[in-house]
Structure 1
């Protein structure tokens, strides 16, 4: 297994900087497809943008394991252009409302060019005491792109209702930490790209499909067509999870940054989408065994308020799919300063690599062996 962490770091930072909110992941797809096709010709993109990268097993070609991460990020959509040139926006996905006033965002205009803007905030000098420390309601937010009329917005900035944008940030490294927007889930996209290079010449006892899915932040189910085509026997998802080592979350859970990959024991989201996942017992035990045999640090994760595609994959197909999930502890999720540990990413990749070389064609997962 390669130990070239510089390539992983470079890819995480490059992917973090790309604009790609849900439904507008094209730039991310283009980057990943180009890189995956340097590794194998077996790269397919479906009509909504899911990428499937297939490595066929010589000894067991029809039995698949899918490893997946999502390409999209949280963002914004323009819902109204005011006569004076300011924009009104709606969130795409769960953008952290608390950080928005004064935050820089970037839009893609009708010519696919970036347009910078800032979410306005009332001048401190004219702010009433009753307004200080109050989080602005979403409907009161407006964006200043430097335009002075709606015609200026349309004709000179090429922005209109339906234009999309994302939080603005340039990825950066601080020793063992990587900081930027969209670490959720571009860090794991980079991880899977590096893993693909490491397994391309292996004869694994399962065929492997690396899937990069779309629309996870908006409706969670974008991966389903890609899964339907592959019909995997088992699936392992990679996403992020809140790190509980900051002063405001200290002690909320034992999952912390730089202390190992998170292995999900349960996640659940009860707000709006009543869904979650408890992993397949045999798959969970196998991943744990591999981590312990190879001295890979890991943390069991129980996360309320977190939801990933595995919640829906379990029920895919005619027989269901035994699922598990690996999580990268992340500070400041759904903001422009998401922070991950390089060491956690490396250990997650190491766990997957060793799992793949350990898996045997007659391994049984799920409950259909009674």
Structure 2
């Protein structure tokens, strides 16, 4: 892959990750996506939940074969639950925020007057008792410091109970690796935008619908109205897979940055949701054949303890053959995540050939 294209991908990813868009508050990302869509699309709409539905083309025949590709726009964050009389802020998590990543981190609140910066407080090291040094405070014990001296000062600044908070924006590169907040799942949105650019205006054997979905980090069901409306014959979800190439995860899985995109063969959350995805075997083989033909090296993954937008949306209408395609990511749900730009470009290349390979004669029936 040329350095110019990697630079293009990095710049576009940086633009997407700078947008503040926690689950349920995706309006800024809705506007960002709309601003980056090319001309010549058949239709672009936003449903009542905020899903951006992009119909790339239209086939004038009864019941055309429909392919849907989707990725979520939202990110994890916090919700303000209480403003203390002394101006400190108490929060609840919005999505899967791990406590181990919280303390001392910079955060952003977007008020009607603009963005304000703060930090998640942490007890000064010099006054931390020995028995507290290895204790991890729970999110309910955390407090945010925006520099307010009183509750009234916070309210005057536009802060309110129910306001979302996100980690501070940052982005940097080291060779082909990009480090940023909200790579989950702005990298998926980047891939969708690049795919649209490559497919618009082309003669395709199927109708292609691209969806930028909402509230994945909240309860994974925000995309369901879009799935019901599109009613695809097959669908592809784009999200991350945890890379296991760091010193603390080596040996736990065979997923590494820079070794290509991932085909997820199993996901299961457990923990009460009982959600997950075991993809249609014929669909798995179809993807493998296209990847082989295009010389795209795939990594194969299983994802215990994780979910994607496919976990529940696969059950809509008459049931939809779905598959998770993913990019390996380090430090998931931390304030800064890491991805290899080469994995993103390989996934774009695969999708550019995979999506137009679907047509009405493709056999995905079970049995």
**Which TM-score applies when normalising by structure 2?**
0.96
Matched, 1:223 2:223: yes
Aligned to 1:320: 319
Q: Deviations over 1:116-153 (max 9, x none)?
A: 11011111111111111221122110000000000010
Matched, 1:209 2:209: yes
Q: CA deviation at 1:59?
A: 6.9
Q: Is the 8 A contact 1:39 1:196 kept in 2?
A: no
Q: Is the 8 A contact 2:41 2:57 kept in 1?
A: no
Q: Is the 8 A contact 2:206 2:356 kept in 1?
A: no
Aligned to 2:105: 103
Using a 3 Å threshold, how does the CA distance of structure 1 residues 116 and 39 change in structure 2: closer, same or farther?
farther
- SS of 1:91's equivalent in the other structure is strand
Using a 3 Å threshold, how does the CA distance of structure 1 residues 38 and 8 change in structure 2: closer, same or farther?
farther
RMSD over aligned Cα atoms: 1.7
Cα distance in 2 for residues equivalent to 1:271 and 1:39? 45
Cα distance in 2 for residues equivalent to 1:357 and 1:68? 16
- SS of 1:85's equivalent in the other structure is coil
Q: Is the 8 A contact 1:107 1:114 kept in 2?
A: yes
Give unpaired runs (5+ residues) of structure 1.
none
- SS of 1:344's equivalent in the other structure is helix
Aligned residues: 365
Aligned to 2:306: 306
Cα distance in 1 for residues equivalent to 2:144 and 2:359? 55
Aligned to 1:292: 292
- SS of 2:149's equivalent in the other structure is coil
Aligned to 1:170: 170
Using a 3 Å threshold, how does the CA distance of structure 1 residues 140 and 106 change in structure 2: closer, same or farther?
same
Q: Is the 8 A contact 1:57 1:205 kept in 2?
A: no
Cα distance in 1 for residues equivalent to 2:5 and 2:104? 38
Q: CA deviation at 1:360?
A: 3.1
Q: CA deviation at 1:227?
A: 0.9
Cα distance in 2 for residues equivalent to 1:107 and 1:271? 31
Q: Is the 8 A contact 1:55 1:200 kept in 2?
A: yes
Query: Where in structure 2 are the equivalents of 1:25-64 lying within 5 Å?
Result: 25-38=26-39, 40=41, 42-58=43-59, 62-64=64-66
Aligned to 1:260: 260
Q: Deviations over 1:60-82 (max 9, x none)?
A: 67221100000000011100000
Aligned to 2:283: 283
Q: Is the 8 A contact 2:21 2:29 kept in 1?
A: yes
Aligned to 1:133: 134
Aligned to 1:74: 76
Q: Is the 8 A contact 1:268 1:307 kept in 2?
A: yes
Q: CA deviation at 1:166?
A: 0.5
**Which TM-score applies when normalising by structure 1?**
0.95
Using a 3 Å threshold, how does the CA distance of structure 1 residues 41 and 112 change in structure 2: closer, same or farther?
farther
Cα distance in 1 for residues equivalent to 2:7 and 2:204? 26
Cα distance in 1 for residues equivalent to 2:40 and 2:86? 51
Moved more, 208-217 or 37-46: 37-46
Aligned to 1:195: 195
Give unpaired runs (5+ residues) of structure 2.
none
Q: Is the 8 A contact 2:40 2:201 kept in 1?
A: no
